[in-house]
Structure 1
Amino acid sequence: MLYLIEDATPEPAQFGALPALFARTLNAELRCAGVHFDEQRFPDAHQHVTADGRLVASGLIWRTRTGLPDSAEPCHEIFALARTRHIVLLVQSFDAFPTQCAEDVEMLRVVHEADSAQLVEDGSGVVLQAHRDRYGRWRSTEQAASRASGPSMTIALIGRECDQHQQYPATLAALGDAADALGFDLDVRFIAAQDIDCDNAETLLADAHGILLPGGADMARVAGQIEAARFGWLASIPVLGLSLGMQSMATAIARLALKSDEIGMKEAQPDARVASFEPIHVGEDGVLLHRLGLRPISLVPGSRIAAMLGTQASILCNHRYRLNPALEAPLATLGVTVSAHDESGSIADAIEADKHPFFAGMQGHPELSSRDGAPHPLLIAFLEAAARRSQA
């Protein structure tokens, strides 16, 4: 049976949430067709990474979080496939799909409200209802809300709250997974990176028990992330960086080590005198190598990251820039070392500082591998460090 679901939400983070819950109840594949969001309005609209190396709508994180595979995009044989199994096909508009030529197609649509939604079928009414919890995670009405029994703490998430709820939901959801697993009660303080500078960083961040620097495609966030990382380093506040966040952390430490603010990421600051992050590779056609998909990483034995992840590790990647190898030695003078590389040994996949309460980042996207009941170890370690600060 083919179930065609229209989800016309304008917000990338909500797209596909109810269809994912519905597909799980059917043990069905969830496929997607013709998805487009305005990346001028939502720079992170298409930043969900599949294991096989595709960038898709960020709301499709709900598909992977429900345990469904990141299936291939629809093919011309989808009607034939639907005769042998249940397939849920997700579209932004019914108009984009030729249902008139299909047999045995059930058509449903998602109706959104503020923090809830319904899946409805004409003539049959409501098929499924769900709501978003405080961490933006979608739950059916039958699922009980998580309850914190442990310590309370303040986490400064360096990003606009609307960005976490409207375009890229994975970071906040992963933070919630870790908090639930530990029984922690988090006061998540959203601080736009664009609002942070060297003059106000202390005012904004001094009472935080942890600072989380998320990834993203908007380079306007970089300067504020660097200032947040610098302050966290100097104030001994636990700092976690994800993808772009790791790049900001490394850049902040490089500036401190070399006593120069003329160090910057080439992607965000093309005219920087010294590149903290440089293109991985530029071919003869001038196109940057895009490292994308699930990639194995090589962990440095004895490192904190190795203790968290074990001997065999992999990470979902989405980047075209790498840490400038020439900066590894200056970083090490302040105690920040590379604790994981790619399989070739030429790309830094994680950094950490063993003398800091917690200062660690990964070039990939551990938040995309987090699930309810199975948080990523890096988020767990970060919140444990924040808890120690809150109890000090």
Structure 2
Amino acid sequence: MSARYIFITGGVVSSLGKGLASAALGALLQARGYKVRLRKLDPYLNVDPGTMSPYQHGECYVTDDGAETDLDLGHYERFTGVPARQTDNVTTGRIYSDVIAKERRGDYLGGTVQVIPHVTDAIREFVLSDITDEDFVLCEIGGTVGDIEGLPFLEAIRQLGNELGRDRACYIHCTLLPWIGAAGELKTKPTQHSVKELLSVGIQPDILLCRAEREIPKGEKRKIALFCNVKESRVISALDVDTIYAVPLTYHQEGLDVEVLDYFRMMKDGEAEEIDLTRWKDITHAIRAPEGEVTIAVVGKYTVLLDAYKSLAEALVHGGIANNVRVKLNWVESEIFEKDDPLNYLENVHGILVPGGFGERGAEGKIAACKFAREHDIPYFGICFGMQMAVIEAARNLAGIPNASSTEFGPTKEPVVGLLTEWKRGNQVETRREGDDLGGTMRLGAYPCILEEGSRVAEIYGERHIYDRHRHRYEVNVAYRDKLEAAGLIFSGMSPDGVLPEIVERRDHPWFVGVQFHPELKSKPFAPHPLFKGFIEAAVKTSRLV
């Protein structure tokens, strides 16, 4: 049986939760025994989000095969467990780059290159590519219907609807029912206009997912169905919930999965309730009824926009689920510690996490946070840049290297952290130089790491050979290993060739671990990453000592 395609669009405003809707629907179809694949089509002109500021676009999610992608792919993985790939996220920039490259090579045989059919053909080709035995492919189209940037993508999925036919293509439109306090009612007009905008490009939505902050009356659903030309049962309420992991449960209660299968004529008599949602019930119960609470300080430099740390925040929640505690996050801008005593912000926390980042701004504040955690025996977790700052802190204050620094901050006589210029991926050697393009030039994707026998991290993982995802262009300089280990900072995880330090830890501390990779990218609510599970477990022990 060929794959069926579900196209998810959004209207009225951005941030309606199309990504979560796609992920939750994928999880529901999985729970019914179907194999799913999720994809994101992004209308912006960047080739990928790798060069975009976290303030602009939130975090940049990285796949095992080294793609820098939209953060929604993180939701897809966390809800379904299906590893995303290079072929699951495409942008206008990438599409146009490919089309122009073909034109330069003469692939179009002298023809005039146009948005239709050349750009739309490239989008269609992407949507249909790299599919094997999936039952459903869910394609989310970024942006808001009506944006000029999104028109080629809407035209492409319109064409695909005609090509695939009704039995293999379904359109779900996410929209908004705002509550007008002065009138005391939900308004359906924005939804009507949004559907009208979609109709203007030739797409009739089959299912409407209506975001609202309070219950949608039956009369309003009937009105929406009438004006938007959909069955009343396919006007689905999407109300706010206390945790995103309740979304599959609430969407099932509203009948979203049933309506999708009914649309494809796949719902058999009596099959509506044949679904095992135990996983999601257990997860939401653990979140709503914890046995305790711990406070974790996240000392970062993009805390103004929490989407910059989306996977990180979720991984900490997963660590809480594994330990049956609520994790309260205290977001701290690292620059504060360059002016104020960390004691004023970190005295009562049960764990300190310093995440990744780029550039010198806020670095000294992160170093101060590392020092505070080390001196006060507070569990410390450093990720990527957070590991590098922990190494610099130890070099300056314990290993007798007061001028220790990173070449990321400029020339230094003590490059404890330096630009990574060469590394192995399998049997291939990859190289980078100072003047290379910024996009796609970091050490990206999953790489192997060998853990030292008897180390804390080997105990945490329960094995010595691990794979985790990287996104960095600077690395701890292995030439300083002896001095740092003499100061108590143990290099407990290395690349297989022994050249690249991957993990450091302190054994004279309750829990002090720094990793060069991003473990948050592989954590899921039903399979918390071992490091986050271990970190929160250490925080729980600290909370009981306070």
TM-score by length of 1: 0.86
Of the candidates 18, 23, 27, which is equivalent to residue 24 of structure 1?
27
Give the Cα separation in 1 of the matches to 2:176 and 2:380: 35
- Conserved 8 A contact 1:16-1:90: yes
1:62 aligns with 2:75: yes
Give the Cα separation in 2 of the matches to 1:77 and 1:171: 30
1:345 aligns with 2:498: yes
- Conserved 8 A contact 1:131-1:140: no
State the match for 1:357 in structure 2. 510
Question: How far off its partner does 1:111 sit?
Answer: 3.7
Question: How far off its partner does 1:51 sit?
Answer: 0.9
Of the candidates 304, 314, 318, which is equivalent to residue 173 of structure 1?
314
Give the Cα separation in 2 of the matches to 1:51 and 1:280: 20
State the match for 1:39 in structure 2. 52
State the match for 2:152 in structure 1. 96
- Conserved 8 A contact 2:315-2:520: yes
Q: Deviations over 1:315-359 (max 9, x none)?
A: 111111110122222221221111111122111110000111111
Q: Which amino acid aligns with 1:139?
A: V
State the match for 2:9 in structure 1. 6
Worse overlay, 246-255 or 192-201: 192-201
Give the Cα separation in 2 of the matches to 1:127 and 1:82: 31
| Distance change (3 Å), C-alpha of 1:167 and 1:342 | same
| Distance change (3 Å), C-alpha of 1:326 and 1:257 | farther
1:332 aligns with 2:485: yes
Question: How far off its partner does 1:223 sit?
Answer: 2.4
Give the Cα separation in 2 of the matches to 1:233 and 1:226: 11
1:73-88 matched pairs, under 5 angstroms: 73=88, 76=125, 78=127, 85-88=135-138
Question: How far off its partner does 1:107 sit?
Answer: 2.3
| Distance change (3 Å), C-alpha of 1:197 and 1:283 | closer
1:254-293 matched pairs, under 5 angstroms: 254-259=395-400, 261-267=402-408, 269-281=409-421, 283=432, 286-287=435-436, 290-293=442-445
| Distance change (3 Å), C-alpha of 1:311 and 1:326 | closer
| Distance change (3 Å), C-alpha of 1:82 and 1:354 | closer
Gaps of 5+ in 2: 89-122, 146-150, 179-207, 211-224, 251-280, 422-430
| Distance change (3 Å), C-alpha of 1:7 and 1:337 | farther
Q: 1:177 is paired with a residue of what secondary structure?
A: helix
Worse overlay, 303-312 or 327-336: 327-336
Q: Which amino acid aligns with 1:370?
A: S
1:140 aligns with 2:248: yes
Give the Cα separation in 2 of the matches to 1:180 and 1:130: 24
Question: How far off its partner does 1:20 sit?
Answer: 1.5
TM-score by length of 2: 0.64
State the match for 1:50 in structure 2. 63
Give the Cα separation in 2 of the matches to 1:57 and 1:319: 17
Give the Cα separation in 1 of the matches to 2:14 and 2:158: 26
Larger Rg: 2
Give the Cα separation in 2 of the matches to 1:296 and 1:179: 27
State the match for 2:116 in structure 1. none
Question: How far off its partner does 1:138 sit?
Answer: 6.7
1:376 aligns with 2:376: no
Give the Cα separation in 2 of the matches to 1:109 and 1:23: 16
| Distance change (3 Å), C-alpha of 1:62 and 1:83 | closer
| Distance change (3 Å), C-alpha of 1:51 and 1:84 | closer
**How many aligned positions are there?**
385
Instruction: Considering fraction of residues, name the structure with more helix.
Output: 2
| Distance change (3 Å), C-alpha of 1:7 and 1:52 | farther
Question: How far off its partner does 1:306 sit?
Answer: 0.9
Q: 1:308 is paired with a residue of what secondary structure?
A: helix
| Distance change (3 Å), C-alpha of 1:349 and 1:77 | closer
* Percent of residue pairs identical: 24
Question: How far off its partner does 1:161 sit?
Answer: 5.1
Give the Cα separation in 2 of the matches to 1:112 and 1:335: 56
Give the Cα separation in 2 of the matches to 1:113 and 1:180: 33
Q: Which amino acid aligns with 1:119?
A: L
- Conserved 8 A contact 1:129-1:140: no
Give the Cα separation in 2 of the matches to 1:194 and 1:229: 14
State the match for 2:355 in structure 1. 214
| Distance change (3 Å), C-alpha of 1:339 and 1:77 | closer
Give the Cα separation in 1 of the matches to 2:459 and 2:41: 41
State the match for 2:325 in structure 1. 184
Gaps of 5+ in 1: none
Question: How far off its partner does 1:260 sit?
Answer: 5.2
1:320 aligns with 2:473: yes
- Conserved 8 A contact 1:175-1:379: yes
- Conserved 8 A contact 1:47-1:55: yes
Q: 1:196 is paired with a residue of what secondary structure?
A: helix
Question: How far off its partner does 1:259 sit?
Answer: 4.6
Q: 1:292 is paired with a residue of what secondary structure?
A: strand
Give the Cα separation in 2 of the matches to 1:354 and 1:83: 48
Worse overlay, 83-92 or 304-313: 83-92
Give the Cα separation in 2 of the matches to 1:15 and 1:291: 30
Worse overlay, 18-27 or 47-56: 18-27
Instruction: Considering fraction of residues, name the structure with more strand.
Output: 1
Give the Cα separation in 2 of the matches to 1:119 and 1:153: 36
Give the Cα separation in 2 of the matches to 1:353 and 1:69: 32
Q: 2:457 is paired with a residue of what secondary structure?
A: helix
Give the Cα separation in 2 of the matches to 1:246 and 1:112: 42
| Distance change (3 Å), C-alpha of 1:14 and 1:350 | farther
Of the candidates 204, 220, 230, which is equivalent to residue 371 of structure 2?
230
Give the Cα separation in 2 of the matches to 1:7 and 1:223: 42
